[in-house]
Structure 1
Amino acid sequence: MSIDFSKTHFQLFDLPQSYALDVDQLERAYRRIQSEVHPDRFAHLGDAEKRLSLQWATQANAAYQTLKKPLARARYLLLLNGVDTQEETNTAMPADFLMAQMEWREAIADARHGKDVDALEQLSGRLRDETHTLQATLGKQLDQDGDFAGAALGVRKLKFLEKLDEEIGDALEILL
């Protein structure tokens, strides 16, 4: 087996280049490739073959990690379409989204200070719903509308939601 390092992550796993992804199909393709390129299979060969197998395995791992996570997959699709999400430089967000972020952070802080595990779990559920809604919008923008500017904004929003989820998780970890 040889991996063509010029292939996209989607091509590597024989998947359509799409935000909507059959995760089970990705998992099966990943396991198949890993079984073919795992360095243990090349232990009896020379150093060059061992290095190449390690490169193949590393490439497959990186591709898998990118495609299995919705945020990373969206970033990658935008990259393939020549779009920079500008996550580090573009902090402009719609006012209503910023207000919602402030409300989320206040609610998290209140629940954490009040040691209210139930409130944190409810916030986590609401955040999950919000994340799924945003992911659905992102999928439509990427797969159907070709709205890459809107998708780049969606990626930046999703990054905010992931940070909120981490804050809730950290608060729950402290309280539990």
Structure 2
Amino acid sequence: MDIKQNYFEFYGLPEAFDLDLGQLADRHLELQKQLHPDRFAHLSDQERRLSAQYTAYLNEGYATLRSPLLRAQYLLKLRGIDTHNESSAPVDPAFLMQQMELRERVEEAPSHADPDSELEALAEEVSNAMEQLRLEFRREISQPGETSLQGAAAAVRKMQFLDKLSREIERLEDELY
């Protein structure tokens, strides 16, 4: 086991967008047991620190691979594209307009005649759009070439917008209850 491996290698899983999340969870538990710092309590300081590093890497990897958006970003990062720190990357203007309209609806939802129904409808709309982008990402990432990688990156950028919007909807739903 080596923290120089990518997360897929570390977990012994195929480097792919579609993962068996049950297999990921099972593998996580196995590795957690193997690497738990308590198993290294009687060893040297260096070995205990190494165990803590492995555990941190394990948990970071699990969080990344479990989330479709983070997994997509990670797959792109492995191919040399970092979508985490892009602020000047172009995004489709029609998509941006759609996002502005959705954001307005989210902001107005608490004062809507039926806020619960409005937030539920918005959540479903965002979920459907996210699924379409996941399909687009799968298609693009599976194709060879720079153009396909750029298409996959464009899908991920849009997914980031929708993910943020989805979290805002969830926050508002929590506030209503």
Q: What TM-score comes out, normalization by structure 1 length?
A: 0.91
CA apart distance, 1:145: 5.1
Q: Is the 8 A contact 1:30 1:64 kept in 2?
A: yes
Tell me which amino acid in the other structure corresponds to 2:56.
T
Structure-1 separation of matches of 2:52 and 2:81: 30
Which residue of the other structure, out of 79, 82, 90, is the alignment partner of 1:81?
79
Aligned length: 174
Structure-2 separation of matches of 1:142 and 1:90: 22
Can you list the C-alpha shifts for 1:102-152, whole angstroms capped at 9, x where unaligned? 121122122222261111111111211111121121122113455110111
Which residue of the other structure, out of 24, 27, 33, is the alignment partner of 1:26?
24
Question: Does the residue aligned with 2:31 lie in a helix, a strand or coil?
Answer: helix
Regions of 4+ moved over 4 Å: none
Structure 2 match to 1:112: 110
Question: Does the residue aligned with 2:42 lie in a helix, a strand or coil?
Answer: coil
Question: Does the residue aligned with 1:45 lie in a helix, a strand or coil?
Answer: coil
Q: Give structure 2 stretches of 5+ with no counterpart.
A: none
Structure 1 match to 2:55: 57
CA apart distance, 1:156: 0.9
64-73 vs 106-115, greater mean Cα deviation: 106-115
**Between the two proteins, what is the percent identity of the paired residues?**
39
Which residue of the other structure, out of 95, 98, 102, is the alignment partner of 1:97?
95
Structure-1 separation of matches of 2:6 and 2:84: 22
Matched, 1:158 2:159: yes
Which residue of the other structure, out of 60, 65, 68, is the alignment partner of 2:66?
68
48-57 vs 86-95, greater mean Cα deviation: 86-95
Tell me which amino acid in the other structure corresponds to 2:28.
Y
Structure 2 match to 1:125: 124
Per chain length, whose mean CA-contact separation is higher, i.e. which structure has more relative contact order (CA < 8 Å, sep 6+)?
1
Residues 110/155 of structure 1: CA separation in 2 closer, same or farther (3 Å cut): same
Q: Is the 8 A contact 2:73 2:84 kept in 1?
A: no
Structure-2 separation of matches of 1:135 and 1:95: 20
Tell me which amino acid in the other structure corresponds to 2:138.
G
Question: Does the residue aligned with 2:159 lie in a helix, a strand or coil?
Answer: helix
Structure 2 match to 1:40: 38
60-69 vs 82-91, greater mean Cα deviation: 82-91
Structure-1 separation of matches of 2:93 and 2:33: 49
Tell me which amino acid in the other structure corresponds to 1:14.
G
Question: Does the residue aligned with 1:7 lie in a helix, a strand or coil?
Answer: coil
Q: Give structure 1 stretches of 5+ with no counterpart.
A: none
Can you list the C-alpha shifts for 1:37-79, whole angstroms capped at 9, x where unaligned? 0001111222122111111111111111111111111111111
CA apart distance, 1:19: 0.9
Structure-1 separation of matches of 2:34 and 2:93: 50
Structure 1 match to 2:142: 143
